[in-house]
Structure 1
Amino acid sequence: MSEFEMICAGITCLDIVVTGNIGPHVFQVDSTPVDTISLGIGGDAANQAITASSLGLSAALFSCVGNDWKAENLSGLLSEKGICTEYLQRYEHDTTMSSLVLVGREGQRNFLFDRGCGKNYVPNAYSLEAVKKARLLSIGSLFVMPEFDRHGAGSLLAEAKRHGVITVADMTCDTEGAADEVLDVLLPHIDYLMPSLEEASAVTGAGDPAEMCRKLRDRGAGNVVIKLGSQGCYIDIDGVRGQIPAFTDIKVLDTTGCGDTFVAAFSYGILKGYPPEECAAFAQAAAAINATHIGACGHIPSVEAVCSFLLDHPTQKIVS
C-alpha cells in the first residue's frame, strides 16, 4: 500500500509578493508606493504539494531549507496545510530559498530569486527509500537547482520508475545551459512532462506545440502537456492530441503559481483515472481559480470547488 499519493520534489521558498504599480519607473525615483506587499509559501514543489493536499491527496514534500527564520516559518505553514515535511532537508550553513514576486495590475508576474540552499540540494537516501511508497512523483521543477538537476532528480525518477510510480515533471527556462545534458538523462524516466510553451520552445527549437510534443517524445518523454497560459494547454497523451482552450471569463489578479496548480490538479486527474481531456479541464479550472487570488498557492479549497467551477463555466472541448 502506498504511504503517499503524491510526492512533490524540488523548490520550496519564501515568496515576497509585491502587487501593483510595478514597472521600470521604480528605478527612476527613491521610493514608490505599491498596492500590497505580503509573505507566503512559494516554490514549485511546495505549491504543488499544497494544491494536492487541498484536493484530498496525501502529499509529501522533498525539498530543502536553510538555518534561518524562513525555514521555521515555512515548515510550520506547510505542516498546517497537511503536508508531510519529514523529508525537508536542513542545510545548517546556508539560507532558505527566497523569491521576490513582482505582480502587475494585469496579473502578469516576474521573479527575482535567491537559490540559497537550493543550489546544493540533492535528495538523501531517506528520500530515495520513501519514493517507493508513492503513487505519483512530481518534479517541480527542473532548471532551478543545478545539483538537483544533475544528481538528484534522475535518481528519484529512476527509483520511482523501478517501483511502478507514475512520474511527472515541470520545468523552468534553462539559465545554466544544461538542458540537453539533463533532459537526455531524465526524459526516458518521465511519464508526463508539463512545460510551458516558452520552456518547450527553448529546449526543442520548435514553434508549434504539436511539434514540441513530438520532439520531446522522440527524446524519451512518455506523454507531454504544454501549458499555454491564457490560451489553455496542448495535450499529447496516449494518442489523444489537441489544444484545449482556457477559461476566459475570469478576473485575473495574479498568475503566480498557476502552472504549479495546473500540474498538481492534472496529477490528481491521473491518479483518479480521468481521461486526458478531463484531466486537462480539471487542471485548467483549478489554475483559473488560483489566478483570481494574490499569491502562489492555497486558493483551491477542495475538489468540490473545482467541480463547481466546471459546472458554472462552459466545458472546454479539445481542438485538433
Structure 2
Amino acid sequence: MGARTEVIVLGGAGVDTIVQVPELPLPYADSYMIDSGIRTRAGQTGDFVALGLTRLGLVTHHCDLLGDDPEGDLVRALHEEHGIALTALPQPAGTKRAVNLVGPDGRRLSLYDTSRGHPDDRFPEAVLRELAAAARHVHVTITQPCAQALPVLRETGVPLSTDLHDWDGENPYHEPFAYTADVVFLSAAALADPERTVRRIAERGRAETVVATAGADGAYLLADGRLTRIPAVAPPAPVVDSNGAGDAFAAAFLYGRLSGEPPERCAAYGAVAGAYACTVPASRADAIGRDELLARAAAPTR
C-alpha cells in the first residue's frame, strides 16, 4: 500500500451463492427447479464498497480476514481483476459466505454463515495503525471483528464511516459502530421512526452526518443538525436485484465527500449509484463508473 491510498475498507469480504427464486417468502416445498442456475461469486458488503469506490476513481485498499480456501481465492481474484489492493489476513475458520435468495422483484433474503469466524478474532493493531496512517478515510463494515478495531482507529484521528444496514435501532451489536463513526449509513427498512433514529445516532455519538436510505422513498439525510429528504432516482434499467444498493450509495456518498461536495450533493450521488446497483444481476459484481455517475447526477429529474 502506498501513500496515495484514499480510502481503507475494513472487513466485509466474502462470497455469496445466488439463487433466483419464484417468489419471496418462498413457500415450503420438497424441491424447486432453478432454471436460471445457482451461481457463486465474490462480493459482500466490504467488497462492494471497495469496488464502488475504485470505479469512481478513488484509490482504495481493502483489509479483512480470509480463509485459504476456494472462496478466499474468489475474493482475491475479484480484487486483482479490479485493481483493488487487498490485505488478506489468515482466517483458519474460512472465508465468509452467504446464500442470497433473490425474488423476481429484486428483493432478497440473505442467509449468513456465522461459523466462518471466532469471537476472539482480531485485526492486528500494528496493521490497523499502518493502514490508517496512509489513508484519508476508513470505512468500517459491521462484520466481526471490526468492532474491536474501532478504538484503535479512533485514536489515529482518521475520519470513519460505517453502514449499519438494516439496524432496528435497538440491537446493541451495532451501537459501537453507530456512536463511533463520523458518517453513518443505515437502511430505514426496520425503523419505525427513521428521523428519530438518525437524530439519536447524532446525539449519542460522533456522527456529523447520518443517512438512512429508504429505497423507492429516497433517503433521510441529517447533516449539521438539519434533516433533509433526498428523493429517489429512477433506475436506468429494470430492477433485478437490490443486493449491494446500500453499499453503492455509501461509496458514491464518500466519493462526493472526499471531493469536497456538500452533504446534499453527496446524497444525490448515492441515490444515483444505488439505483444503478439495483439493475446489476446478482450473479455479477459491478458498480457505476465516475463519468456515468456525474452525468446522471447532473441530468434534470423527471
What TM-score, normalized to structure 1?
A: 0.84
Q: Unpaired segments of 5 or more residues in structure 2? A: none
Question: More helix by proportion, 1 or 2?
Answer: 1
Task: Report the counterpart of residue 89 of structure 2 in structure 1.
Answer: 89
Asked if the contact 1:96/1:116 (under 8 Å) is kept, the reply is no
3-state SS in 1 of match to 2:63: strand
**Aligned residue in 1 for 2:217:** 231
- Which residue of 2 is the match for residue 218 of structure 1? 203
Query: Of residues 187, 200, 205 in structure 2, which corresponds to 1:196?
Result: 187
304 and 212 in structure 1: CA distance in 2 versus 1, 3 angstrom threshold: same
1:159 maps to which residue?
Answer: 155
- Correspondence for 1:318: none
Q: Percent identity, please.
A: 25
Distance 1:55 1:215, change over 3 A: same
How far off its partner does 1:248 sit?
A: 3.2
Unpaired segments of 5 or more residues in structure 1?
A: 202-206, 316-320
Q: CA deviation at 1:99?
A: 1.0
Matched with 1:309 is 296
Partner of 1:63: 64
Q: TM-score, normalised by structure 2?
A: 0.89
Give 3-state SS (helix, strand or coil) of 2:211's partner: strand
The match for 2:231 is 245
Which whole-Å CA distance do the structure 1 matches of 2:25 and 2:255 have between them?
40
Match of 1:134 in 2: 135
Partner-residue secondary structure (3-state), 1:35: coil
Q: Over the residues paired in the alignment, what is the CA RMSD in angstroms?
A: 2.5
1:273-312 maps to which residues of 2 (within 5 A)?
Answer: 273-295=260-282, 298-312=285-299
Q: Residues of 2 paired with 1:178 and 1:197: CA distance?
A: 13
Q: Distance in 2 between matches of 1:17 and 1:313?
A: 35
Task: Report the count of equivalent residues.
Answer: 297
Deviation, 1:209, is 2.5
- Aligned partners of 1:259 and 1:296: how far apart in 2? 17
- Flag the 1:173–1:301 CA change in 2: closer, same or farther, 3 A: closer
| Residues 151-181 of structure 1: per-residue CA shift (max 9 Å, x gap) | 223323x1342xxx22111114569x99437
| Alpha-carbon distance between aligned partners in 2 of 1:113 and 1:192, rounded to the nearest angstrom | 26
Q: 1:46 to 1:159 in 2, by over 3 A?
A: farther
Write out the 4+ residue segments of structure 1 that deviate beyond 6 Å after TM superposition: none
Deviation at 1:259, TM superposition (A): 0.3
